[in-house]
A = this chain, B = another copy of it.
Amino acid sequence: MARSSTQRRTRGREGRRQRQSEHAPYRLGELHNPFPPVTVIDGDAIERIADAAFRLLEEAGLEFRSDRALDILKQNGAHVDRETSMVRIGRDIVQSFVQQAPSQFTLHARNPAANVTVGGGYVNFMPVGGPPNVSDLDRGRRPGDFESVSNLMRLNQALGVTQLAGASLGEPVDLPVDTRHLDIYLAQATLTDRVWNGRGIGRARIEDALDMIAIARSTTRQALVDEPSTMTVINVNSPRRVDEELLDGLMAMAENGQPCLVTPFTLAGAMSPVTIAGALAQQTAEALGVIALVQMIRPGCPVVFGGFTSNVDMKTGAPTFGTPEYVKATLAGGQIARHFGLPYRSSNVNASNAPDAQAVYESAMSLWAAIMGGANIIHHATGWLEGGLTASFEKTVIDAEMIRGWAEVLKPLETRDEDLALEAIAAVPPGGHFFGEAHTLARFENAFYEPILSDWRNFEAWQEAGALTATERANALWKKLLEEFVPPDLDPAIEEALEDFVARRKYDIEREQ
C-alpha cells in the first residue's frame, strides 16, 4: 500500500515535471550569484555620492505632483511647498525611512515553484517592458499588437530564462487604452505561471492586478499584503519630477505591501548632468526620495532601488546603452543600492536598430555589468532593441542564449579529486586524446553547457545547412517554440474566474466613459 502510494506520488510529480518541461523546456530556475560584486568606486566615493544625493534632497528638492503624496511627506517631516509641489527632506528623515525597507524579500507566483527571492545574491531576469513596437525578421518593425505581445509572453515562458514575467512585453496598440491592461493581465495570468507586473499608471490598474492575482493564487487581497505577488516599475520623470499617475500607482502598491522598482530616468547629458557621477548623485536622490515615501506609507514595504543611468549621444541627443559610461554607472549603482541595504534593479539594454552585432555587444556589456555588479533584478533581459522602442523576437532568443550562458558561469567550478582527474590524465599517452576514457564517458553527457542557438558545426557543414546567421537561426527557433507552446497548468475554474473578472471590469470601465 505504502509503495503504491509512493508510486502514485512519484507519477504525479513526474507527470507534473513532464508537463512543465513541455511548456518550458529550457527553464533555468532560481539563480544565485556567487561572485562578490565588481566595484568601480571606493567607499569614500560612495559616501561622496550619497552626501551629494542628500544635499539635493535637502536643498534642491524633488517635485511630487500629487496632493496625497505631499500630505504624507509633510506628515512625516518633509518641507513641502504646496504651490510648486517641491519637497525638501532632511537626510535623517530619508535615512530613517529608507532603512526600514527590507534588503531581501520573496515574490509569490501562482506556481509556488516559480516564487523568486529578490535581494542578497539572487539574480532574476525579466523580459523587455512596454516598447511601442515589435519586430521580427519576417514582418519587420511594426506597432505592437495584442497577438504579438501575447506571443512574446509565450516565447519567454517557453525559453524559461526570465524568472519574472514582466509587464506588457510590448504595447498592444490595437486594444483600447483604458482596458488594455486587463487583456495583458489575463494573458500573463494564463500564459505564464511566474510573477507578472501590474501597470503603475494610476491606482485602478494596480487594484485590478491585485484582484486578478488574488484569484489566480486562490487567496484573498488581504493575504497578498504579507505575500508580495507583483511588482511595478515607477520611473522618476528626471530631473527631479515624479508624475501624479505614477505616484497614484506607487501609493496603491505601497498600501498593499507590493514592491515598486523605483527607477530614475537619468540619461547623462539630457535628463541629468553630463558627468556620470552627477547622474548617479541625481539618480540616488530621486530614488531615495521616492523610496522614503514608500516607507512612510507602509514601513517595511519591499522596494527596489532602480538604476538606469546611461548617457546620450551628444551629437544627436539620442539615448545610448551598453556604453562604457553605462557599465560604470551600473556597477556604481549597485554599490550605492547596497550602501543603503536595498535590492538593486538594472537592465540588459542596447541602442541598435537591428538584432545584429551592435545589439549583442552593447547588450553583452549591459549584462556583464548588471550581473557582476550584483543586480537582483535585470529588466529588459530579453528582446529589447532600439533603446527600448522595439521588442524583437529574434533578440529575445539571442538574449536567452546569453542568459543561459551566464547562468552556467554562476555555477561553481568544482576541484574535487574526481574533477582534477589525475588518473585519467596519466592514462592518456602524450599526443593522445580523452574521447574514449572512462572518466570522459562517465561525464560527457552533462559535462558542458549545451546551447540553444549557437551553431558549433564546422564551416562546411554550416554552409551546407544554409549558412544561416545566429539571428536567422533565432528566427527559426522562436517560431518552433511558439508552434510547440503548451501553456502552464491552470485550474479551469480559476481561468473562468479571471475571464469573468476581466469582462465585468471592462463593462464597468466602458460604462464610465
Contact = CB atoms under 8 A, between A and B. Distances in A.
Interface in A295-343: 311, 313-314, 316-318, 320, 323-325, 327-328, 332
Number of copies: 2
A360 interface: yes
A358 B454 contact: yes
Interface in A391-411: 398, 401-402, 405-406, 408-409, 411
Specify the main secondary structure of chain A where it touches its partner: mixed
A497 interface: no
Q: How many A residues touch the partner, as a band?
A: 35 or more
Contact of A425 (B86, B269, B272): B272
Given A353-B462, A425-B239, A440-B274, A324 B358 contact: no
A35 interface: yes
A413 interface: yes
Interface stretch (A92-100, A224-232, A441-449): A441-449
- A49, A239, A355, A445 pick with most chain B CB within 10 angstroms: A239
Nearest to A411: B324
A26 interface: no
A82 to B, nearest CB: 15
A244 to B, nearest CB: 13
- A55, A278, A328, A332 pick with most chain B CB within 10 angstroms: A278
A490 interface: no
A424 interface: yes
B282 A415 contact: no
A416 B45 CA distance: 9
B358 A455 contact: yes
A28 interface: no
Interface of A: 35, 38, 40-41, 45, 48-49, 52, 55-56, 59-60, 62-63, 86, 141, 237, 239-241, 268-278, 281-282, 311, 313-314, 316-318, 320, 323-325, 327-328, 332, 351-362, 364-365, 368, 372, 386, 389-390, 398, 401-402, 405-406, 408-409, 411, 413-416, 418-422, 424-426, 428-435, 437, 439-440, 443-445, 447-449, 453-459, 462-463, 467, 469-471, 474
Given A49-B420, A269-B448, A352-B455, 18 more contacts: A48-B415, A60-B426, A268-B448, A270-B435, A273-B425, A275-B447, A277-B420, A278-B424, A281-B420, A314-B445, A324-B411, A356-B357, A356-B469, A357-B469, A358-B469, A360-B360, A361-B401, A368-B372
